[in-house]
Structure 1
Amino acid sequence: MKLRPGLLAAALVLAAGLSACGHPAIESGSPAAPPAARLDALNAADARVAEVSWTLARSNADLCPVNRFRTGWSLQSASQYGDALRPVAEARYGLEGDLPGILAAPAGSPAAAAGLAPGDLILAVEGRPLDRGDVGAASAYDGLDANTALLDAAAAGGGPLDLSVRRAGVVRRVVVQPVAACAYPTQIELTGSFRSHTDGRHIFISDRMVEAAAGPDQLAFILAHELAHAVLEHRTQPDVTGPRGAGNAALTLRRGLSLSAEADADRLGLYLLARAGFDPYQAVAFLPRYAEINPAARFPQANAGGVYESAPARRRALQPVLADIAARRADGRPLIP
């Protein structure tokens, strides 16, 4: 992930494992907007994605082929910001160099349960100080990557994380108990295009796709589709390891890449988001909205993973899935296709 000039240099990297570092991606109006307004828009986008992606990852751990112990938080550091936004972020969040600060602690996550919130700065884990780095140096990701790697290693065994945290100048001890969740954290990409995908390590969603989703159910439709690709092992990476979910073997959909991969991800994605408490009927409403915003979605499209039908065709194909989800709920059957 390379830094971009201007506002885009304010983007944040997302680390693998338990630590999810925020990568907010939406500008507020003109690039000439005041820095505080731009930061607000960036942070709001990251928090929105963090809430939905964490809910999906935690609720579907039993179906994921790889799980890891995660806290659910999104992290940021001063060193990730460019010159325009860094002073604002430092003042607002108490950021300092490469030290990881809480950007988002989704409701129901271990981070939220421990009382962590935006404005908290993690100074040490298990008594080991994290590296402050070179405060004021040019924007870079390496320092935060190294610190989150230490957090990942400390949580790998599933035990509680003993943290030293500073808030408003006061240092306190915070204990966070990570929980098993799907091992695919989410990252927003600053591309200005309509795209979401997974590489077997992360789930990616572009800034414009975040903007296109009206509400959490529609955002869940996009993210659950990509999580479904991971669940069905359409893309895997040898370094992504962890326990397989107990219900994964019950899935009857095809594993591995095929011409039906995109349709299968649509189908399974509805079950995944329904299992996470999102409304599948509201979620499917994303497709006509998407076709309005992105005219290309009105026609079939092909990519390396298979063939996307047009948005209207995708919606028609999902009507039996909606009916099956309703029937399974009525009968008390598991939502596992």
Structure 2
Amino acid sequence: MQTDHATSAVSAGHPPAPPAEPGPDALRAGLGELVAATGRVRQALETVVTGRPDLVRVTVAVLLAGGHLLVEDVPGVGKTTLAKALARSIDCRVGRVQFTPDLLPSDLTGVNIYRSTSGEFEFRPGPVFNNVVIGDEINRASPKTQSALLECMEEGQTTIDGTTYTLPRPFLVVATQNPVEMEGTYPLPEAQRDRFMARLAVGYPDNAAEMTMLDAQQSADPFAHLEPVTTAEAMTRYTAWTRAVHAAPAVKQYIIDLAVGTRDHAGLRLGASPRASLQLLRVAKAHAAMAGRQHVLPDDVQALAVPVLAHRLILSTESRLAGVSATEVVQDIVERTAIPAGPGTVGSVARRPAAGRLADPSR
């Protein structure tokens, strides 16, 4: 367990209200700053994570939307590298936790320590009291320890011995996990997976990207020249701007249709929750803002449907035996769901999400 920056004073009480959303004129004026800042973050990540601009784009969209990110794949493909690069690109407090079977919930949230000199208990905050928390191999810890993050991720607070402590803002959990069929892993509970806005699979690089990596990193630390390109305060402001991006009723209905499609699909035992619909809308707004638009297109929803929805679904027994993946089910639903047409959706072109690149790594 590691904390990269000293933790400041911890306050008890309810989390502070987020910054107010700007009006249309203020959003229009600030979009240029937002696009420039997120562009710098993407460039910083791409210096470390080579050959995966699609992965970087979704990662930054989740950051901008104020969500949490789950990165799943086999060991050695760059999951932790992506998480560390994202944390280093922002000037903020960073905490890192290496999840192990003997990790306790208090190792994450903190613990009250009795001081005999004063006769009082002193609260020692854990690594969740940072802006960015890197949870390495989260599914190697027991379900009890994994569940310690539930309140933190959903409400921006944690309760210890009856006292509720606020977490800093912004608060982002970037967790990595290995496939569940590997030794020493515990599958994440459904409630835990549902709190991650998106799940990504890094995948193996292509030949050119792997050659670039070998040339660039054979004698140099890939993080040596990675400097912060924005601040935590700026990201909090951009997140508020992002939520002011307009989504037409037809686009919102499209999101609902996709969610309902997962609930009614014969190949699924559990479909997407209302939280999934809300998070898909939020990250679609972030995707639109990164493109400099004040309105969401169905394209934004389609581009993010797989990473936002697939990890929340539970396949039926028949689908698992047939070798069908949750990614394929989401792609099938996207293909079969009618594209909305109307005010606020002009310019959208229906397309199928790219298979494999952001796919569900488990089949």
If the length of structure 2 is used for normalisation, what is the TM-score?
0.28
Name the structure, 1 or 2, with higher relative contact order (CA <8 Å, separation 6+). Answer: 2
